[in-house]
A and B are shown apart, each in its own frame.
Chain A
Amino acid sequence: MKKFSFTTELPASDTTVAGFLKAFERVLENSNYRSMLDLYSRVSMNCSRCAEECQIFRASRDPRDIPCYRSALLLDIYRNHFTAWGLLKSRIRGTSPLRESDIEEMAESFYHCTVCGRCSIFCPLGIDHRLIVRLGRYILSLAGIAPKALTVSVKEQTEGATRNTSGVPLKALRDNLEFLEEEIQEIKGAAVKFPLDVKGAEYVFFAPVSDYLMEADTLMGIACVLQEAGVSWTICSENYDAINYGLFYNDEVLETITQSMYEAFRNIGGKKILIGECGHASRAASLFMSHFTNSDIPVVNIIELTARLIEEGRIELDPDAIQEKVTYHDPCNIARSGWIVEQPRRILRSFVRNFVEMDPHGTLNLCCGGGGGTVSVSEFKPYRMDIAGKGKADQLRASGAELVVTPCANCKKQISELIAHYRLPMRHAGLHDLLLTAIKLKKADGEG
């Protein structure tokens, strides 16, 4: 079998049709995906209403990028191999057998999709293509096909010495936190702490661990907001990574990582889980925490909390701090369902004078073009720039904004690369990066 456009840990030649079907069977036995497949495989999927709503198809004009074409790849296999009618029909009429090239096509197709979920909003039959892609990737991964960039990160997180996707040792975390405290002292003239291992804190904070390498301003902004508002919070040395790539390619990985977050949270005796600026990690934790841990722990995204603190008047922001024309990019994983759409806008409108919206935005936003784990796979970069992210680049340019704010590690990386690739006349920042600039710390002014 020829190689995929992404690198896999196993040699691609080890993947076979039999291996794929076996993996499919295993998933059907151990999950409740069958009811979803039964429903969807009975529905006609030829209307292509989704096509023009998919930014990837609009950029590539390749019919294989139409969401219902992609979903049909998996549903056809289900129909032919795992339903009584399909098996009977193939015995009578003879169906062409599944070929290795079919599996190859699926592998390419399921990783061409950034799993943004926009198509499902427009599907008149209510088909959840995002779920079908997730299932397809799950089966592929059990058959040995998943991008190495994701699987090695997960291996470090679940079995490695550091227990996080970027391999940040505890020693380096401590060094980073100390450095950030010094930086805040320098920038804001106030002593702001990053609490570590405070037992019984109300909020146990999990950032996407890459923030400890890339997003100093986001973390400093979060620490300033929480301390200024008097929130009880802590980072936990047992686990300081919110990232859960299981959401992108494997339900079993999703479960393992969710449970390990819960373990650390329980060991430190916290009351709520607080996720930093990260779309997929927020969605993974909020959707699956209770399901996989049999608990009812509240999962809160930092934007929800900050919006509430502002409404309660617990922090003060300088309305003159940000002079640029600002727009906001909605991360699909927190916006598509309508969960976090209004909160960031309330935050921004409370202190940014010049705020403009992109069209469309909110639940109907366009993806940054790097969703579904694709941003972490360097082989996909040309595709993310020229195809998947093209619609977002056009939208960013049309906004006329000088600063695009997005509260997601994944979107930040993709958007910064789009800005460089398309030479867009703007910069990008996280939401709490702006709050770091605008927040008035009482201790700094000598006010009460």
Chain B
Amino acid sequence: MATIDLNGVMFEVDEDGFLQEPEKWTEDVAKALAGQEGVTELTDEHWKVMNYLRNYFQENGIAPMVRKLTKETGVQLKQMYELFPQGPANSACKWAGLPKPTGCV
């Protein structure tokens, strides 16, 4: 299992950089993961998406449908890719500390 150093703290991650210990997630972790993809500032929109993802995940045990995510946060898909370079699954979920989506996602 690989580890990454985020601001001096070590985290276990999988081969795609998803956190393996979700309980260790903090807002600083999200900032550090975003920084790795070249996003240096997290806006209110970023937090709206990530908070929705975290809450939905805690409630339902999986990320929400993409259409539901865009509808509930008001962030359209195109804008989603501007905020999260690798998209809702591979950037937003990763920064928000959700596990990597599996299957044909």
Q: Which residues of A are interface residues toward B (Cβ below 8 A)?
A: 7, 148-149, 152-153, 156, 162, 164-169, 171-172, 175-176, 179, 183, 208-210, 212-214, 216-217, 241, 243, 278, 375-376, 378-379, 409-410, 413
Contacts and interface: CB of A to CB of B under 8 A. Distances in A.
A216 B102 contact: no
Contacts of A152: 102
B39 interface: no
A162 B62 CA distance: 10
A167 B62 contact: yes
Contacts of B15: 7, 148, 379
B24 interface: no
B52 to A, nearest CB: 14
- List of 3 A-B pairs having minimum Cβ-Cβ separation, nearest first: A165-B103, A166-B103, A216-B67
Contact of B102 (A153, A171, A278): A153
12 contacts: A153-B102, A156-B102, A162-B62, A164-B103, A169-B60, A179-B65, A183-B67, A183-B71, A213-B105, A214-B104, A243-B103, A243-B104
Contact of B105 (A171, A214, A241, A278): A214
B8 interface: no
Nearest to B81: A420
A190 to B, nearest CB: 18
B62 A210 contact: no
A172 B60 contact: yes
Describe A's contact surface by its main secondary structure. helix
Nearest to B66: A214
B104 A216 contact: no
Contacts of B49: none
B104 A165 contact: yes
B66 A216 contact: yes
A209 B68 CA distance: 16
Given A172-B60, A213-B62, A378-B16, A409 B104 contact: yes
A145 to B, nearest CB: 16
B62 A413 contact: no
Given A179-B65, A217-B67, 11 more contacts: A156-B102, A162-B61, A166-B101, A166-B104, A166-B105, A172-B61, A172-B62, A213-B63, A214-B65, A243-B104, A410-B104
A137 B101 CA distance: 24
B62 A168 contact: yes
Given A376-B104, A410-B104, A179 B68 contact: yes
A398 to B, nearest CB: 25
B104 A413 contact: yes
Given A148-B15, A176-B65, A216-B67, A209 B60 contact: no
Interface string B48-73: 00000000000011111111100100
A242 to B, nearest CB: 10
A12 to B, nearest CB: 13
Contacts of A217: 67
Contacts of B65: 176, 179, 212-214, 216
B33 to A, nearest CB: 16
Contacts of B62: 162, 166-169, 172, 213
